[in-house]
Amino acid sequence: MRLAIMGAAGRMGRALIRAVQETDDCEVTGAVERTGSSFLGKDAGEVAGVGHLGVAIDSDPLPLFTHIEGVLDFTTPATSVATAALSAQARIVHVIGTTGFSPDDERKLEAAARHATIVKSGNMSLGVNLLAALLEQAARALDERFDVEILEMHHKHKVDAPSGTALLLGEAIAAGRSVALKDRSVRTRDGHTGERPQGAIGFASLRGGSVAGEHTVIFAGNGERLELTHRAENRDIFARGAVTAALWARGRGPGLFSMRDVLGIR
Ligand SMILES: NC(=O)c1ccc[n+]([C@@H]2O[C@H](COP(=O)([O-])OP(=O)(O)OC[C@H]3O[C@@H](n4cnc5c(N)ncnc54)[C@H](OP(=O)(O)O)[C@@H]3O)[C@@H](O)[C@H]2O)c1
């Protein structure tokens, strides 16, 4: 499968190049960075530490879309929305790992998915998607007398909060309780907040160091507490998931799919 990497010199971009090179039937045939990047013209393989690939990093994605079959994209919301429009025109696979989309961005991605085959997930790892399925079940079994808090920690360079993964887990809990996350989520607490509302789904974000991603979901009941934790030890788990998603989506019709569709976890 001929794949292009958006944000090829980024933390995830480099991990994606390594993952594609390790996978049979896949090759990196394009690499894109933003205009003005100091990586333009450099070889994508050398930047990712896998040796020379003969693929120079370019700032213009447009020419690539005539010959690629898919694009792996862990960049910024604006870049992913613009790339989705190109993927729709070319009717190809678009794997989106970017987080921090606004409701307006989400609507644009849904529109692009009428023609592109989009797999989008705030977390591409097997472990987190299994955790989401377990949480949905737990939330259904433990009613609103159990207070749910989602705690996440990430490296100091992360720009959005709560993490896309924390929101994905929150959505799974809300689905288990048949409520809308937007009506229940409490994202910040400061000062005299009053008592915790019953049924709230609380979020707390920690930032520091080089943490690839840790999430703990706490169900705090009267006299007992259940905690489920996922720890990402490196970024390769997300990159391998993205490549799996691209291969799964190849040959499928247009639509907006999640990693739980790819992994068959419902
Ligand atoms: N879904 C998952 O499993 C998962 C896992 C990890 C991370 N993420 C998400 O993936 C995203 C990227 O994370 P990261 O840690 O890799 O960030 P990062 O290191 O900042 O990488 C993003 C890359 O995209 C580049 N970029 C920005 N605008 C661009 C454009 N218009 N065209 C092409 N490239 C562009 C950036 O270039 P500059 O640095 O020059 O701006 C940078 O190299 C974040 O939203 C993060 O939350 C998702």
Active-site option among 94, 108, 120, 158: 158
215 is catalytic: no
Q: Which atom of ligand 1 is nearest to the CA of 13?
A: 16
Q: How many angstroms does the Cα of residue 202 sit away from the middle of ligand 1?
A: 27
Average of per-residue pLDDT across 233-249: 96
Q: What is the pLDDT of residue 265?
A: 86
- 236 HSE (CA, 13 A, CB side): 8
Q: What is the pLDDT of residue 266?
A: 73
162 lines ligand 1 (CB under 6 A): no
Q: Each residue of 199-231: pLDDT tens digit?
A: 999 999 999 999 999 999 999 999 999 999 999
Peptide bond before residue 162 is cis, with ω within 30 degrees of 0: yes
Q: How many angstroms does the Cα of residue 11 sit away from the middle of ligand 1?
A: 7
Q: Which residues 6+ apart lie within 8 Å of 38 measured at CB?
A: none
pLDDT value at 195 more than 80? yes
Q: Each residue of 17-54: pLDDT tens digit?
A: 999 999 999 999 999 999 999 999 999 999 999 999 99
Q: Each residue of 9-20: pLDDT tens digit?
A: 999 999 999 999
- Residues 132, 122, 159: CA angle, nearest 5 degrees: 130
pLDDT bin (cut points 50, 70, 90) of residue 64 is very high
52 is catalytic: no
Between the CA of residue 100 and those of 81, 85, 106, 261, what are the distances in Å? 12, 18, 10, 21
In whole numbers, what is the pLDDT of the chain averaged over residues? Answer: 97
